[in-house]
């Protein structure tokens, strides 16, 4: 039986208009001492739309932004919604080569770029650029445009996620896809106009921008931050009375260690959410003890506009009747169909057997930008999103991840695909063969280790190979260790046995 459609799905402009009319002076976004109300966000978004129209941007055009977290992301997203354009946030941690690949693929009509990130834009890209130092003047000089109303199935956002090759893929998200954020905020996660939401993830992530839209949808306040220091983050939570926070496990670990070392009282955060990487049971138990908050585990994909499976606070009970559920992602949200499938046969597996996680709901992306083959590979004709994650499900519907079919490494909340690193290291003249696998890391969860076979008569050091990778890849993707070996284990068909390397 299909999962139910969202009840009265709301597009971004309807949500903004509702709150700008009913609570115009209520704070919506805050960063440092800059507070923006709902009425101010509405006015700024209309001027952004007017500025884009004055520049000749029309419906369907892409508008990219390469910047650190700020309210501009929300102004631009809503301005694009008014103009019918599509916002494209770009990961500022990428290398210049990777940024260039995204610009080649998205072909934006306009690129807004932070001054000290401008060096990431390769020469030769014929795209209209605007420095963010000039952004406010450009926006405020325009006549406001409030002429358009959003179409639920119109694309409004493209978020790029690395593929199993070096080429990035743009996940196309519509207003309908994003409308499920409003539903989960209201129906499942206790967001309200009084909520104070901490968005600590970068806004080029669905875990940053999408998370910020949760409080926005209910008329609450979102605190934006670029802060990573644990003492400063804890102080920020106390200062603003944060009620909801989403953090990756590595950040939670640092916060717990800070509280344990200082002996300070924790901030009174009602709801703590974690995801994007596994969290060990020991750390989870320490975090629950340290904060005393209601903890929620989130599992989802950029391709599903965020969370589809969640472990509720009542299941975060180390001393309860089901302590094993601390290892679980939880159960599917009410509007999500979930099944585990043998990818070799496309047949659903039995309870307790390993299969690929597949999900179907209205939040599933329309597809990858200009990549019909990749879209057909990831989304079945009847709408199931193939996650590539291997898992088991128990008789009560709880999902337990076991491995990644795609060999993805999750390091500090960032997804890393070993094949991309393999391809770069193989470009080094001394390298004959290479295989990258994830290795446990006390701070980042996992980190890439490269197993390298050198060409006969060639020599190169570990430091030289890591430096070679850093010239071509984002730093977080680069291997932190190189293991030199005479050969790589392979099966009869010649495929590298990465499970042997992991051992």
The whole-number pLDDT of residue 445 equals 87
Q: Give domain 409-502's CATH architecture.
A: 2-Layer Sandwich (3.30)
3-state SS, one letter per residue, for 189-203: CCCCCCCEEEECCCC
In this structure, the chain runs to a length of 503
d(CA 255, CA 288) in angstroms, rounded, equals 12
Q: In what helix (H) or strand (E) does residue 44 lie, and over which residues does it extend?
A: helix 38-54
pLDDT score at 493: 37
Q: How far apart are CA 254 and CA 167, in angstroms?
A: 33
Give me the DSSP letters along 383-437: --EEEEEEEEE-TT--EEEEEETT--EEETTEEE-HHHHHHHHTTSTTEEEEEEE
User: Residue 108: exposed, middle, or buried by beta-carbon count in 10 A (0-12, 13-18, 19+)?
Assistant: buried
8 A C-beta contact, residue 493 and residue 428: no
pLDDT score of 166: 43
Beta bridge partners of 355: 391
Q: Are 223 and 30 in contact (CB under 8 A)?
A: yes
H/E element, 27: strand 27-31
Q: What is the pLDDT of residue 408?
A: 75
Tokens of 429: 């003249």
The CATH label, of 3.40.1190.20, 3.40.50.300, 3.90.1150.10, 3.40.50.12780, for the domain at 11-175 is 3.40.50.12780
Q: Which helix (H) or strand (E) holds 65?
A: strand 62-66
Domain ranges of the chain: 11-175, 409-502
Q: In terms of pTM, does the model score above 0.75?
A: yes
- pLDDT 10s digit of each residue in the chain, 503 long? 445 555 689 999 999 999 999 999 999 999 988 999 999 999 999 999 999 999 999 999 999 999 999 999 999 999 999 999 999 999 998 889 889 999 999 999 999 999 999 999 998 887 899 999 999 999 999 999 988 778 899 999 999 986 434 467 999 999 999 999 999 999 999 999 999 999 999 999 999 999 999 999 999 999 999 988 999 999 999 999 999 999 988 889 889 999 999 999 999 999 999 987 667 677 888 899 999 999 999 999 999 999 999 999 999 988 888 988 888 999 999 999 999 999 889 999 999 998 999 999 999 999 999 999 999 999 999 999 999 888 899 999 999 987 566 677 888 888 787 877 887 898 898 988 888 999 988 888 899 999 999 988 999 999 999 999 999 999 999 999 999 999 888 753 345 777 788 87
Which residue from 28, 34, 71 is spatially nearest to 216, judged by alpha carbons?
A: 28
Residue 101 C-alpha from the chain's centroid: 19
Q: For the chain, how far is it from start to end, CA to CA, in angstroms?
A: 42
For residues 486 and 488, give the distance between their C-alpha atoms in angstroms, rounded to a whole number. 7
Q: Per DSSP, what are the bridge partners of residue 453?
A: 433
**CA distances (Å), 3 to each of 361, 362, 366, 384, 398, in order?**
7, 9, 18, 12, 17
Q: Which pLDDT does position 494 carry in this prediction? A: 47
Of 485, 482, 503, 494, the closest CA to residue 436 belongs to: 482
In 175-252, beta strands by DSSP E: 196-199, 221-224, 244-247
CA-based R_g, the chain, Å: 23
For residue 165, what pLDDT is reported?
40
């Amino acid at each position: 039986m299909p999962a139910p459609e969202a009840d009265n799905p709301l597009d971004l402009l309807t949500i903004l208009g509702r709150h700008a009319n009913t609570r115009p002076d209520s704070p919506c976004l805050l960063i440092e001492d800059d507070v923006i109300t709902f009425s101010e966000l509405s006015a700024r978004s209309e001027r952004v739309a007017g500025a884009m129209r004055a520049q000749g941007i029309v419906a369907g055009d892409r508008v990219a932004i390469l910047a650190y977290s700020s309210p501009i992301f929300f102004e631009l997203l809503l301005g694009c919604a008014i103009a019918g354009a599509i916002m494209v946030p770009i990961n500022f941690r990428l290398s210049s080569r990777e940024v260039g690949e995204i610009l080649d693929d998205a072909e934006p009509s306009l690129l807004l770029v932070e001054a000290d990130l401008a060096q990431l834009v390769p020469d030769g890209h014929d795209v209209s650029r605007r420095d963010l130092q000039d952004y406010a003047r450009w926006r405020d000089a325009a006549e406001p445009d409030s002429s358009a109303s959003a179409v639920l199935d119109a694309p409004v956002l493209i978020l790029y996620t690395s593929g199993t090759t070096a080429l990035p893929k743009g996940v196309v998200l519509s207003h309908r896809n994003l409308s499920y954020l409003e539903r989960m905020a209201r129906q499942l996660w206790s967001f309200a106009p009084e909520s104070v939401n901490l968005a600590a993830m970068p806004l080029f992530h669905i875990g940053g921008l999408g998370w910020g839209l949760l409080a926005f949808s209910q008329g609450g306040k979102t605190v934006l931050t670029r802060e990573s220091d644990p003492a400063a983050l804890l102080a920020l939570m106390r200062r603003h009375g944060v009620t909801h926070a989403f953090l990756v496990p590595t950040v939670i670990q640092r916060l717990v260690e800070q509280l344990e070392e200082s002996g300070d009282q924790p901030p009174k955060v009602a709801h703590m959410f974690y995801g994007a990487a596994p969290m060990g049971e020991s750390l989870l138990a320490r975090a629950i003890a340290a904060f005393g908050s209601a903890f929620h585990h989130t599992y989802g994909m950029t391709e599903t506009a965020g969370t589809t499976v969640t472990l509720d606070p009542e299941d975060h009970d180390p001393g309860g009747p089901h302590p094993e559920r601390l290892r679980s992602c939880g159960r599917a949200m009410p509007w999500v169909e979930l099944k585990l499938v043998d990818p070799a046969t496309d047949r659903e597996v039995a309870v307790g057997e390993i299969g690929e996680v597949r999900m179907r709901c209205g939040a599933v992306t329309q597809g990858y930008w200009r990549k019909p083959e990749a879209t057909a590979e990831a989304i079945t004709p009847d709408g199931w999103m193939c996650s590539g994650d291997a898992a088991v499900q128990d008789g009560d519907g709880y999902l337990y991840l076991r491995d990644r079919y795609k060999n993805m490494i999750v390091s500090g909340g960032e997804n890393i695909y070993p094949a991309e690193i393999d391809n770069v290291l193989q470009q080094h003249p001394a390298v004959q063969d290479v295989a990258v696998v994830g290795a446990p890391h006390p701070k980042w969860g996992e980190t890439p280790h490269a197993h390298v076979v050198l060409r006969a008569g060639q020599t190169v050091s570990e430091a030289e190979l890591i430096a070679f990778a850093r010239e071509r890849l984002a730093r977080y993707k680069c291997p932190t260790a190189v293991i030199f070996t005479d050969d790589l284990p392979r099966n009869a068909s010649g495929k590298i046995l990465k499970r042997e390397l992991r051992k």
